[in-house]
């Protein structure tokens, strides 16, 4: 009886907590709200035109690194507003980049590999995935491991070159595993999505892998077929999920939400390693266009279900996937329909900004926590537009 009583009490607390926070945050909310004055968005053309720029990350020196997937390059926008590019060998097509102390790690979908670029020496090393899977998103773990998503699962590249993969059964034949995130306990959160809309055709599953036990816990998003596309694990144990077609962000309390568990047997093999040296190609000054953008502000009332709090995005059909969480708990996000925004979950407020270049998505984002600048890539998937790297600058209180 005690465990059941404890669960009921926790469930009540879960549903009550957001309302209490909202009631108490009229003063606190002023400290964490985005300034409602005009902001600026600066857009810089990519050094290679129509290059399908995707994953983006920020280096300690202030330079911005991003993948130019269709050009087969990794690009750098330097703090002095010049650009450089590094071509990935063997027809490689980088998708996601992550900056580490020893260089720029990236996923290479074309070569079915995880790669490392040393920008100082030009060395490019690639670790081929033994199963032949095509990696998409990438996260760096504290133990030096590199975690990646692929079509039907997630994988880990250890510092000694061993790749282990955990595969799952998808809801629909055209689904794929999309983003992943590592929580404070070292568990891997990952989401399943497709492009078939909401409802029965959409996806529902958010999964947590415990790599020590190979137990995968599966949670279902609160909106049926909401299509979870982005995931961000918080230090306090909660997890943010973007529901692409439900047009919402959902905050998951894993200890409270219903879920199922299964043990998945992983496969491990040594990765074959190859390496070459490439030269960087500088492209001279990177001239950007700065545009003043006015905010659109709205407050929404969250919807509560067992273990979940859901916030509807004010702009209809925003098509939001990528998110970043700042130190105050605000959710910075992009919408593939053409917007950037910030959600303050404490008071349910949204501030949204329209990206000046129309039809320039998809977008990937990176948040500069020190400057509170949101960097983003404009892939140009929806129209034959000039591809760009840009950033949103807002004045915070």
CATH number of the domain to which 232 belongs: 2.130.10.10
Decide the pairing of beta strands 228-233 and 339-344: unpaired
Question: Residue 330 — pLDDT band, cuts 50, 70, 90?
Answer: very high
- Is residue 195, in this structure, part of any structural domain at all? yes
Asked if residues 75 and 388 have their Cβ atoms less than 8 Å apart, the reply is no
Q: Tell me whether residue 240 is in a domain.
A: yes
Give the pLDDT band (50/70/90) at residue 20. very low
Instruction: Count other C-beta atoms under 10 Å from residue 5's C-beta.
Output: 9
Tell me the two tokens of residue 355: 């990206």
Whether residue 147 contacts residue 155, with contact meaning beta carbons closer than 8 Å, is answered with: yes
Question: Is residue 274 in a domain?
Answer: yes
With contact defined as beta carbons under 8 Å apart, do 165 and 137 qualify? no
Comparing 81 with 228, the larger pLDDT belongs to: 228
Give yes or no for residue 303 having a pLDDT over 90.
Answer: yes
Count of structural domains, the chain? 1
pTM: 0.91
Question: Residue 16 above 70 pLDDT?
Answer: no
Position 372 confidence tier, pLDDT thresholds 50, 70, 90: confident
Decide if pLDDT at 1 tops 90. Answer: no
> Which of 190-199, 277-286, 313-322 is the least confident region?
277-286
Residue 266 tokens, joined: 């992983």
Residue 34 pLDDT: 54
228-267 core/surface letters (b: 16 or more CB in 10 A; e: else): bbbbbbeeeebbbbbbbbbbbbbbbbbebbebeeeeeeee
Residue 31 has pLDDT above 50, yes or no: no
CA 347, 352, 356 angle in degrees (round to 5)?
Answer: 170
Comparing 11 with 224, which gets the higher pLDDT? 224
Question: Is 70 exceeded by the pLDDT of residue 144?
Answer: yes
pLDDT at 395: 72
Residue 61 belongs to a domain: yes
Residue 16 lies in a domain: no
The strand pair at 113-118 and 103-108 is best described as antiparallel
Give the CA count within 13 Å in the CB-facing half-sphere of 248. 23
Asked whether residue 21 is assigned to any structural domain, the reply reads no
- Decide if pLDDT at 197 tops 70: yes
- In percent, how much of the chain has pLDDT > 70? 90
Is 234:241 a contact under the CB 8 Å cutoff? no
Burial class (CB in 10 A: 0-12, 13-18, 19+), 293: buried
Q: Does residue 28 carry a pLDDT above 90?
A: no
Cα maximum dimension of the chain: 70
Half-sphere exposure of residue 276: CA atoms within 13 angstroms, side-chain side:
10
Give the confidence band of 397 by pLDDT, cuts at 50, 70, 90: low
120 has pLDDT over 70 = yes
Query: Is 19 part of any domain?
Result: no
The pLDDT assigned to 27 comes to 33
| CB-based contact 46:387 (threshold 8 Å) | yes
Is residue 162 a part of any domain in this protein? yes
Give, rounded to a whole angstrom, the gap between the first and last alpha carbons of the chain: 49
User: Chain-wide mean pLDDT for the chain?
Assistant: 90
Question: 112 vs 285, which has greater pLDDT?
Answer: 112
* pLDDT digit string, tens, across residues 242-286: 999 999 999 999 999 999 999 999 999 999 999 898 888 876 778
Which of 199, 188, 196, 200 has the alpha carbon at shortest distance from 141? 188
Checking if the pLDDT of 123 tops 90, the result is yes
Closest by Cα among 92, 55, 134, 66 to 276: 92
Q: Out of 32-36, 56-60, 139-143, 340-344, pick the least confident.
A: 32-36
* Stretch 144-154: mean pLDDT: 98
How confident is the model at residue 244, as a pLDDT? 98
CB 55 within 8 A of CB 364: yes
Average pLDDT over residues 148-159: 98
Q: State residue 285's pLDDT score.
A: 78
Structure-block tokens of residue 309 = 């709090």
Distances (CA, A) of 321 to 61, 255, 388: 27, 24, 19
Q: In what order do the strands lie in the sheet with 308-312?
A: 228-233, 239-243, 248-252, 308-312, 303-305
Q: Is the pLDDT of residue 23 over 60?
A: no
pLDDT at 382 over 80: yes
Q: Are strands 248-252 and 308-312 parallel, antiparallel or unpaired?
A: antiparallel
Distances (CA, A) of 214 to 114, 250, 253: 22, 26, 21
Higher pLDDT, 174 or 287: 174
Q: Check residues 20 and 129 and name the one with the higher pLDDT.
A: 129
Query: pLDDT category, 35, cuts 50, 70, 90?
Result: low
Give the mean model confidence (pLDDT) for residues 132-147.
97
Print the domain residue range for 232: 40-393
Q: Would you call 361 exposed, middle or buried from its count of C-beta atoms within 10 A (0-12, 13-18, 19+)? A: buried
pLDDT band at 347 (very low <50, low <70, confident <90, very high): very high
């Amino acid at each position: 009886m005690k465990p059941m009583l404890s669960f009921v009490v926790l469930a009540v607390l879960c549903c009550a907590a957001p309302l209490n926070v909202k009631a108490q945050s009229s003063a606190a909310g002023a400290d964490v709200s985005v300034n409602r004055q005009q902001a600026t968005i600066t857009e810089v053309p990519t050094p290679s035109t129509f290059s399908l720029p995707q994953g983006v990350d920020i280096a300690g020196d202030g330079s911005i690194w991003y993948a130019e997937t269709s050009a087969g390059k990794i690009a750098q926008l330097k703090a002095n507003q010049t650009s450089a590019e590094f071509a990935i060998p063997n027809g490689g097509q980088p998708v996601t980049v992550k900056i580490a102390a020893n260089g720029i790690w990236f996923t290479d979908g074309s070569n079915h590999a995880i790669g490392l670029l040393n920008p100082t020496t030009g060395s490019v090393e690639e670790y081929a995935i033994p199963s032949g899977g095509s990696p998409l998103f990438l996260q760096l773990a504290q133990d030096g491991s590199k975690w990646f998503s692929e079509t039907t699962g997630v994988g880990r590249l250890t510092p000694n070159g061993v790749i282990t993969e955990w595969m799952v059964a998808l809801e629909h034949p055209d689904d794929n595993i999309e983003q992943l995130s590592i929580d404070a306990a070292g568990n891997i959160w990952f989401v399943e999505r497709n492009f078939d809309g909401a409802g029965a055709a959409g996806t529902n599953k958010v999964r947590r892998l415990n790599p020590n036990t190979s137990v995968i816990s599966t949670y279902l998003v609160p909106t049926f077929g909401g299509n979870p596309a982005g995931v961000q694990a918080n230090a306090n144990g909660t997890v943010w999920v973007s529901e692409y077609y439900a047009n919402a962000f959902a905050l998951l309390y894993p200890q409270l939400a219903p879920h199922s568990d299964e043990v998945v047997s992983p496969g491990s093999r040594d990765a074959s390693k190859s390496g070459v040296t490439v030269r960087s190609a500088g492209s001279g000054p990177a001239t950007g266009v700065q545009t003043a953008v006015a905010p659109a502000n709205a407050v929404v009332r969250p919807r509560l279900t067992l273990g979940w709090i859901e916030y509807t995005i004010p702009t209809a059909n925003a098509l939001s996937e990528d998110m970043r969480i700042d130190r105050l708990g605000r959710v910075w996000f992009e919408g593939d329909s053409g917007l950037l925004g910030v959600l303050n979950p404490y008071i349910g407020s949204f501030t949204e900004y329209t990206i000046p270049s129309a039809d320039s998505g998809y977008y990937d984002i990176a948040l500069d926590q020190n400057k509170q600048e949101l960097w983003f890539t404009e892939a140009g998937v929806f129209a034959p537009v000039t591809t760009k790297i840009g950033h949103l600058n807002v004045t915070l209180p």
